[in-house]
Protein backbone atom coordinates (compact mmCIF):
# COMPACT_ATOMS: atom_id res chain seq x y z
CA UNK A 1 0.00 0.00 0.00
CA UNK A 2 2.86 2.40 0.83
CA UNK A 3 4.41 1.69 -2.56
CA UNK A 4 1.11 2.48 -4.32
CA UNK A 5 0.76 5.78 -2.43
CA UNK A 6 4.34 6.72 -3.27
CA UNK A 7 3.74 5.94 -6.96
CA UNK A 8 0.55 8.03 -7.01
CA UNK A 9 2.36 10.93 -5.30
CA UNK A 10 5.20 10.73 -7.83
CA UNK A 11 2.80 10.72 -10.78
CA UNK A 12 0.84 13.67 -9.37
CA UNK A 13 4.03 15.65 -8.71
CA UNK A 14 5.30 14.95 -12.22
CA UNK A 15 1.97 16.04 -13.74
CA UNK A 16 2.09 19.34 -11.86
CA UNK A 17 5.67 19.98 -12.95
CA UNK A 18 4.83 19.15 -16.58
CA UNK A 19 1.86 21.57 -16.44
CA UNK A 20 4.06 24.31 -15.05
CA UNK A 21 6.86 23.57 -17.51
CA UNK A 22 4.52 24.00 -20.48
CA UNK A 23 3.77 27.61 -19.47
CA UNK A 24 6.48 30.06 -20.41
CA UNK A 25 7.03 33.67 -21.33
CA UNK A 26 8.63 33.64 -24.78
CA UNK A 27 9.32 37.38 -24.80
CA UNK A 28 6.68 38.45 -27.32
CA UNK A 29 5.07 40.82 -24.78
CA UNK A 30 8.34 42.28 -23.46
CA UNK A 31 7.42 45.81 -24.60
CA UNK A 32 3.81 45.76 -23.41
CA UNK A 33 3.02 48.52 -20.90
CA UNK A 34 1.07 45.91 -18.89
CA UNK A 35 3.89 43.33 -18.74
CA UNK A 36 5.05 44.19 -15.20
CA UNK A 37 1.42 44.18 -13.99
CA UNK A 38 0.77 40.74 -15.53
CA UNK A 39 4.03 39.44 -14.06
CA UNK A 40 2.93 40.58 -10.59
CA UNK A 41 -0.51 38.91 -10.64
CA UNK A 42 -1.13 36.34 -7.93
CA UNK A 43 -4.10 34.33 -6.79
CA UNK A 44 -4.44 32.33 -3.59
CA UNK A 45 -2.84 29.48 -5.54
CA UNK A 46 0.35 31.43 -6.22
CA UNK A 47 1.81 33.54 -9.04
CA UNK A 48 -0.06 33.53 -12.33
CA UNK A 49 3.13 34.20 -14.34
CA UNK A 50 2.39 36.55 -17.24
CA UNK A 51 0.03 37.46 -20.06
CA UNK A 52 1.88 35.01 -22.29
CA UNK A 53 0.93 32.12 -19.99
CA UNK A 54 -2.73 33.06 -19.67
CA UNK A 55 -5.48 32.76 -22.25
CA UNK A 56 -8.18 35.29 -23.06
CA UNK A 57 -11.69 33.91 -22.63
CA UNK A 58 -14.69 35.01 -24.71
CA UNK A 59 -17.73 36.24 -22.78
CA UNK A 60 -19.74 33.17 -23.85
CA UNK A 61 -17.10 30.90 -22.30
CA UNK A 62 -17.31 32.09 -18.71
CA UNK A 63 -20.04 32.93 -16.24
CA UNK A 64 -20.70 33.90 -12.67
CA UNK A 65 -23.46 32.32 -10.63
CA UNK A 66 -24.11 32.67 -6.89
CA UNK A 67 -20.76 34.40 -6.41
CA UNK A 68 -18.70 31.68 -8.10
CA UNK A 69 -17.15 31.51 -11.56
CA UNK A 70 -16.83 28.79 -14.12
CA UNK A 71 -15.06 28.77 -17.46
CA UNK A 72 -15.35 26.63 -20.59
CA UNK A 73 -12.03 25.20 -21.73
CA UNK A 74 -11.60 22.55 -24.40
CA UNK A 75 -15.37 22.08 -24.55
CA UNK A 76 -15.94 21.44 -20.85
CA UNK A 77 -17.12 23.69 -18.05
CA UNK A 78 -14.67 23.91 -15.17
CA UNK A 79 -15.47 25.48 -11.81
CA UNK A 80 -12.98 28.16 -10.80
CA UNK A 81 -11.81 27.67 -7.23
CA UNK A 82 -12.49 30.77 -5.13
CA UNK A 83 -8.80 31.06 -4.24
CA UNK A 84 -7.87 31.15 -7.96
CA UNK A 85 -9.84 34.37 -8.56
CA UNK A 86 -7.74 37.53 -8.87
CA UNK A 87 -9.60 40.23 -6.98
CA UNK A 88 -7.64 43.32 -8.01
CA UNK A 89 -8.97 45.54 -10.82
CA UNK A 90 -8.53 44.13 -14.31
CA UNK A 91 -6.25 46.54 -16.20
CA UNK A 92 -6.38 44.46 -19.38
CA UNK A 93 -10.19 44.51 -19.55
CA UNK A 94 -10.52 41.04 -21.05
CA UNK A 95 -11.30 37.90 -19.06
CA UNK A 96 -8.26 35.68 -18.67
CA UNK A 97 -7.55 32.24 -17.28
CA UNK A 98 -4.33 30.45 -16.42
CA UNK A 99 -5.11 26.72 -16.67
CA UNK A 100 -2.88 23.84 -15.65
CA UNK A 101 -3.26 20.53 -17.44
CA UNK A 102 -2.44 17.53 -15.30
CA UNK A 103 -3.08 13.83 -14.93
CA UNK A 104 -6.54 14.55 -13.48
CA UNK A 105 -7.62 17.04 -16.14
CA UNK A 106 -7.56 20.82 -16.21
CA UNK A 107 -7.38 22.92 -13.09
CA UNK A 108 -7.40 26.69 -12.78
CA UNK A 109 -4.41 28.44 -11.18
CA UNK A 110 -5.64 31.99 -11.80
CA UNK A 111 -8.80 33.59 -13.16
CA UNK A 112 -9.16 37.30 -13.95
CA UNK A 113 -12.80 38.24 -14.61
CA UNK A 114 -13.49 40.76 -17.35
CA UNK A 115 -16.32 43.22 -17.83
CA UNK A 116 -18.71 40.96 -19.82
CA UNK A 117 -19.42 43.71 -22.35
Predicted model pTM: 0.71
Residues 111/43, Cβ–Cβ less than 8 Å: yes
The pLDDT tens digits of the residues spanning 14-27 come to 443 344 434 455 55
Bridge partners, 73 (sequence order): 76
Residue 117 forms part of a structural domain: no
DSSP alpha helix (H) spans, the chain: 2-22, 35-40
Residue 97 forms part of a structural domain: yes
Residue 24 forms part of a structural domain: yes
What is the longest distance spanned by two Cα atoms in the chain? 53
- Count: domains in the chain: 1
**How far are the Cα atoms of 12, 27, 29 from residue 51, in angstroms, in the given order?**
26, 10, 8
The pLDDT tens digits of the residues spanning 36-59 come to 888 899 999 999 986 668 899 999
pLDDT (0 to 100) of residue 116: 60
Amino acid sequence: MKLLRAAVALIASTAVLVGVAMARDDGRYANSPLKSWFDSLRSGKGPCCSDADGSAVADVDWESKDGHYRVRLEGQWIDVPDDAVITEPNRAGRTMVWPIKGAYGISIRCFLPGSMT
